[in-house]
């Protein structure tokens, strides 16, 4: 996935949401949430070399995450809980092949919302079906990692009534489970630690 394109998608979503900022929200504790973000970091998993000599690397902490879920925020106190199920992927695609690292995180974050327009939160991140797919000339392989549990810490700023922009830190590690369906026994793992920014829209 082109990194400039991914950044453009996030910015486009930011401006598209601006029409909602001036609207008064309905009074209710439970809302639907849509999130979209960019992340970077983690260990290097694979590198693609192009015909012009340039390279692009897949890392265990990248790159684009999108998903949806719910936010519970009672009017009676400065707390909130958000749960989202996401698709998180870093890939490199060319006319003759693809490298892709994908996984499906479930995040459950608790927030303190007692500071006007700010929120601070943390919680567990349950990562399902992480795998690295290599499909290039001379190599076609799938590396499957064990499901893992990580953690997220986040600080967010509210724009209007319907959108938060968050800076987040994620910590997690991946252990190889199998290569092309053949089980692997190893104590080594790779870091999926990342830093990122995301926006969350509420409906």
pLDDT tens-digit series, residues 21-57:
333 344 579 999 999 999 999 999 999 888 888 899 9
Q: How far apart are CA 182 and CA 7, in angstroms?
A: 37
Residue 101 lies in a domain: yes
Instruction: Tell me the pLDDT band of 190, cut-offs 50, 70 and 90.
Output: very high
Residue 10 lies in a domain: yes
Residue 87 lies in a domain: yes
From the centroid of its chain, how far is CA 28? 27
Residue 24 lies in a domain: no
Residue 106 lies in a domain: yes
Domain CATH for 50: 2.40.160.20
Q: How far apart are CA 158 and CA 73, in angstroms?
A: 14
Residue 56 lies in a domain: yes
What does the pLDDT read at residue 2?
Answer: 56
pLDDT above 90 (res 17): no
E strand spans, 95-203: 97-112, 118-136, 139-145, 148-159, 163-171, 173-179, 182-183, 189-191, 194-202
Angle, alpha carbons 34-128-107 (nearest 5°): 40
Residue 92 lies in a domain: yes
Q: How far apart are CA 179 and CA 142, in angstroms?
A: 6
Per residue in 117-154, pLDDT tens? 999 999 999 999 999 999 988 889 999 999 999 999 99
138 lies in which domain range? 3-19+29-202
What does the pLDDT read at residue 25?
Answer: 47
pLDDT above 90 (res 85): yes
What are the backbone angles phi and psi of residue 177, rounded to the nearest 5°? -100, -45
What does the pLDDT read at residue 4?
Answer: 47
Instruction: Tell how strand 79-94 and strand 63-72 pair up.
Output: antiparallel
Residue 121 lies in a domain: yes
Domains in the chain: how many in total?
1
Q: How far apart are CA 185 and CA 100, in angstroms?
A: 23
Q: Measuring CA to CA, which residue among 65, 42, 25, 57 is closest to residue 162? A: 25
Q: What is the pTM of this model?
A: 0.86
What does the pLDDT read at residue 1?
Answer: 56
């Amino acid at each position: 996935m082109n990194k400039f394109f991914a950044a453009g998608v996030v910015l486009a979503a930011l401006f598209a949401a601006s029409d909602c900022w001036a609207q008064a929200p309905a009074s209710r504790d439970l809302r639907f949430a849509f999130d979209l973000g960019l992340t970077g970091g983690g260990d290097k998993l694979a590198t693609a070399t192009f015909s012009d000599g340039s390279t692009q690397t897949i890392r265990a902490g990248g790159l684009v995450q999108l998903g949806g879920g719910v936010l519970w925020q009672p009017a009676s106190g400065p707390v909130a809980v958000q749960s989202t199920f996401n698709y998180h992927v870093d890939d490199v695609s060319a006319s003759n092949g693809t490298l892709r690292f994908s996984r499906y995180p479930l995040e459950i974050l608790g927030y303190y919302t007692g500071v006007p327009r700010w929120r601070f939160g943390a919680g567990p991140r349950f990562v399902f079906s992480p795998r690295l797919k290599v499909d290039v000339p001379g190599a076609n392989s799938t590396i499957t990692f064990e499901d893992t549990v990580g953690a997220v810490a986040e600080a967010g700023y509210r724009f209007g009534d319907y959108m938060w922009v968050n800076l987040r830190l994620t910590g997690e590690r991946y252990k190889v489970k199998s290569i092309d369906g053949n089980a692997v026994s190893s104590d080594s793992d790779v870091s999926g630690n990342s830093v990122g920014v995301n926006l969350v829209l509420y409906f």
